[in-house]
Chains A and B, each alone.
Chain A
């Protein structure tokens, strides 16, 4: 099992550009999450999904969009990138029966 796979690992964007961070999991988990982690800070929830076709906002959703068309995939879309979105983004998933999260390796995004 690959677990949770995120692409790309690194990306540099110019202000105003858009991009999609990809996340896929092969564990058949219903629940998926996107967190961002700023330097020296904890994890802040951006969006989450409890199953295909269902998404909900987390603590810091502004400037982001998500979709969940399949159980496996949960892409995060950044529209009109801003320097404040420079961060490390983690995707995570869990099964319905447990709260324990499995994280991807992260995507480091820099907006200049």
Chain B
């Protein structure tokens, strides 16, 4: 079945540093989604990318969908303590339910 892999598994950064997490799928995706889960919380939808090569920004967060629609990245500029949490990518293999990556846990040291 489809696999969605994320790296790194953990990332510790000093506040103000940049952060990037990468997502790779074993199959081509019709779209890719990103979710954030705060410690002790539930996943919350951040964004969906649909088009090949698409780049979207949300304030300090930049999301990119690869040209082949098999990979994606999330980049956070100048991290803040409010960015702490686990970031998941997820993709739907056709009409089947979303497959989630294992996530990247971000720690921000003030």
What's the dominant secondary structure at chain B's contact region?
loop
Which residues of chain B in 79-110 are interfacial with respect to chain A, using CB atoms and an 8 Å cutoff?
88, 92, 97-103, 105
One of A42, A45, A48 near B102 (C-beta < 8 A): A42
On whether A99 and B33 interact (CB within 8 A), knowing A41-B102, A42-B100, the answer reads yes
Does any Cβ of A come within 8 Å of B66's Cβ?
no
Interface residues contributed by chain B, number (CB under 8 Å): 20
Interface residues contributed by chain A, number (CB under 8 Å): 20
User: Given the complex, which residues of B lie within 8 Å of A100, measured CB to CB?
Assistant: 33, 45, 48
Verify B92–A101 contact, CB threshold 8 A.
Answer: no
Contacts across chains A and B counted by CB atoms under 8 Å: 43
- Nearest chain-A residue to B48 (Cβ)? A100
Measured in the bound complex, the distance between the Cα atoms of B43 and A102 in whole Å is 8
One of B44, B48, B105 near A99 (C-beta < 8 A): B48
Measured in the bound complex, the distance between the Cα atoms of B100 and A40 in whole Å is 13
On whether A101 and B103 interact (CB within 8 A), knowing A43-B43, A43-B88, A106-B42, the answer reads no
User: Given the complex, which residues of B lie within 8 Å of A41, measured CB to CB?
Assistant: 102
User: Given the complex, which residues of A lie within 8 Å of B103, measured CB to CB?
Assistant: 42
Measured in the bound complex, the distance between the Cα atoms of B1 and A33 in whole Å is 18
Binary per-residue interface labels of chain B (16-58) against chain A in the complex, 1 for a CB within 8 Å, 0 otherwise: 0000000000000001010100000111110010000000000
Nearest CB in chain B: distance from A105 CB, A: 5
Nearest CB in chain A: distance from B86 CB, A: 9
The 3 closest A-B pairs by CB, nearest first: A42-B102, A103-B42, A43-B100
- A residues with a Cβ closer than 8 A to B are 33, 35, 40-43, 45, 48, 58-59, 90, 92, 99-106
